[in-house]
């Protein structure tokens, strides 16, 4: 397993370079329309990098980060509320958030299906989901998948069609953008927490 609990400093200072400009533009388009009272949950947040990017686009929102590694969360900015927990067991009430962010975290989750069910539970009706990750359908995505498997990670990398289908089965309308060997997903949850 990758020792994330001891890599907070590295991720805090270097992971921002992994985000393509186009993805950050899409994140801004995703986050800017949210109203001032909106709450945003960053799942698998690590050092809170996605929250930082989102905050630059809309600083009037409530940002909450959740990650199982305390050593990562301690590097989150002061405006981010932090909770140490797994994505598969979020410590929040139903219908708590207007938006959820998952930046390079989906493939690290022990059980992505349970995690998406938790996203569904904590999202409000018409809540939004933004995912940024690596496309297993590309050479680089397959290479990263193999490397993470060797390191003992869950390596739940998805091809674009498989991820789109999974999210649609959970009640989301989904828009996917490809960025070479990476992708971003902007989805809206239409069914409320009654699923």
Instruction: Specify the pLDDT at position 8.
Output: 65
CA distance 44 to 67: 5
Query: Which residue ranges form the domains of the chain, and what is each CATH number?
Result: 4-194 (3.40.50.150)
Residue 20: the pLDDT is: 85
The whole-number pLDDT of residue 120 equals 97
| Distance from C-alpha of 25 to C-alpha of 163, rounded to nearest angstrom | 22
pTM to 2 decimal places: 0.91
Distance CA 76, CA 84 (A): 12
Exposed, middle or buried, 11 (CB in 10 Å: 0-12/13-18/19+)?
buried
pLDDT at 89: 97
- pLDDT tens digits, the chain, 195 residues: what are they? 666 776 666 667 667 667 889 999 999 999 999 998 899 999 999 999 999 999 999 999 999 999 999 999 999 999 999 999 999 999 999 999 999 999 999 999 999 999 999 999 999 999 999 999 999 889 998 898 898 888 888 888 888 889 999 999 999 999 999 999 999 999 999 864 444
């Amino acid at each position: 397993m990758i020792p994330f609990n001891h890599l907070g400093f590295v991720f805090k200072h270097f992971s921002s370079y992994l985000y393509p400009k186009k993805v950050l533009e899409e994140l801004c388009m995703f986050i800017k329309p949210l109203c001032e009272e909106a709450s945003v949950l960053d799942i698998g947040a690590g050092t809170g990098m996605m929250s930082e990017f989102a905050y630059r686009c809309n600083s009037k929102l409530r940002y909450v980060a959740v990650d199982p590694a305390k050593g990562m969360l301690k590097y989150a900015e002061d405006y981010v509320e932090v909770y140490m927990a797994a994505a598969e067991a979020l410590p929040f009430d139903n219908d708590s958030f207007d938006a959820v962010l998952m930046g390079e975290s989906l493939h690290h989750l022990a059980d992505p299906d349970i995690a998406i069910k938790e996203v569904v539970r904590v999202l409000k009706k018409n809540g939004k989901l933004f995912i940024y990750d690596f496309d297993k359908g590309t050479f680089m995505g397959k290479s990263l998948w193999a490397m993470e498997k060797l390191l003992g990670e869950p390596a739940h990398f998805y091809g674009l069609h498989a991820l789109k289908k999974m999210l649609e089965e959970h009640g989301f309308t989904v828009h996917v953008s490809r960025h070479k060997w990476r992708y971003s997903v902007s989805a809206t949850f239409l069914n409320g927490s009654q699923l």
